[in-house]
Amino acid sequence: MSEYSTIVVSTESRVATIQLNRPEALNALNAEMMEEIVTAAMGFDADPGVGTILITGSQKAFAAGADIKQMADRGYADMYADDWFRRWDDLTRLRTPIVSAVSGFALGGGCELAMMSDIIIAAEGAKFGQPEINLGVIPGMGGSQRLTRAVGKAKAMDMILTGRRIDAAEAERIGLVSRVVADDQVLAEATTVAELIASKSKPSTQMAKEAVGSAFESTLGQGLLFERRMFHSLFATEDQAEGMSAFAQKRDPVWRHR
Ligand code: CAA
């Protein structure tokens, strides 16, 4: 019996999968689901046996946004008092690489959840959008910031001000997603990517994620220095010694993730 009611979790080959599971609401992200996703992901992040976290939804919807029905009757004081959506910040602080496999709708909070991951693999039929403007609000889970950093002002303004949906081909063209594959291949492709990352030395994948992430948080000079210091620090790991001697000896490295 699963400990969760809105997600299904499993772990195989160092990949932990979180499948969003509210089909009746197209995986709309209500408060319970937000809590469960973040709790599960934090548990996997702390597990040395997990090298990658994979987030996926259903064929029809990755997630159709935050749960509109749950928010509809709330007022400003409630939203502010609860600091609604703050919990997602905990997901973005995790050091384990996160891959999202996106099929169907990734709208509003669904698009924003996908953008919290490090690599998005999209199905050809996936649809991305920030339709909050049609509800009299704006993105609240990071869309105005992450979308703009991912695709630039022109496309971010276009999507956020008009609420228009884009297809997977456009999402790939503008740099929102890493790869687009046939609809029935998206989970297989994302799993392959997740397993490949999980097969590498964990300190180096974690530091690679931190170094790329710092590009969004710092000046170029600070980011370059941070990257260089991370690079130096990897020379304190057993895996660096193993990786470089394996190369010299023309054999595959055996990672100890330390
Ligand atoms: N919240 C709550 N319920 C939702 C939902 C959402 N975001 N999206 C879909 N649902 C529910 C529908 O109400 C419907 O429930 P009922 O059967 O009880 O009526 C069920 O899921 C199936 O949806 P539809 O019948 O609408 O399915 P469709 O195929 O006709 O349309 C859709 C699909 C175009 C995605 C449409 O459901 C839709 O437009 N959803 C809302 C998209 C949206 O506006 N997202 C942004 C939410 S706000 C937000 O995310 C804020 C933020 O920044 C975090």
Helix (H) or strand (E) holding 198: helix 186-198
For the chain, give every residue range classified as CATH 3.90.226.10: 7-199
pLDDT digits (tens, 9 = 90+) for 217-236: 999 999 999 999 999 999 99
Compute the distance between CA of residue 11 and CA of residue 150 in angstroms, rounded to an integer. 29
The pLDDT of 202-231, averaged and rounded, is 95
71 Cα: distance to centroid of ligand 1 (angstroms): 13
Compute the distance between CA of residue 36 and CA of residue 25 in angstroms, rounded to an integer. 16
Q: Which CATH superfamily is domain 202-249 in?
A: Lyase 2-enoyl-coa Hydratase, Chain  A, domain 2 (1.10.12.10)
pLDDT digits (tens, 9 = 90+) for 147-199: 999 999 999 999 999 999 999 999 999 999 999 999 999 999 999 999 999 99
ipTM for this prediction: 0.98
pTM > 0.90: yes or no: yes
* Cβ atoms < 10 Å from Cβ of 35: 13
Q: Which CATH superfamily is domain 7-199 in?
A: 2-enoyl-CoA Hydratase; Chain A, domain 1 (3.90.226.10)
Instruction: Please enumerate in sequence order all residues whose Cβ is within 8 A of that of 235, keeping only pairs 6 or more positions apart, or say none.
Output: none
**Which residue's alpha carbon is at the smallest distance from atom 42 of ligand 1?**
64
pLDDT of residue 194: 98
Which atom in ligand 1 lies closest to the alpha carbon of residue 105?
35
Instruction: Give percent helix, percent strand, percent coil of the chain, each to the nearest 5.
Output: 50, 15, 35
Residue 28 Cβ contacting ligand 1 at under 6 Å: yes
Distances, alpha carbon 177 to alpha carbons 17, 66, 247, in Å: 19, 20, 32
Strand partners, 52: 15
Per the listing, tokens 């023309």 go with 250
For the chain, give every residue range classified as CATH 1.10.12.10: 202-249
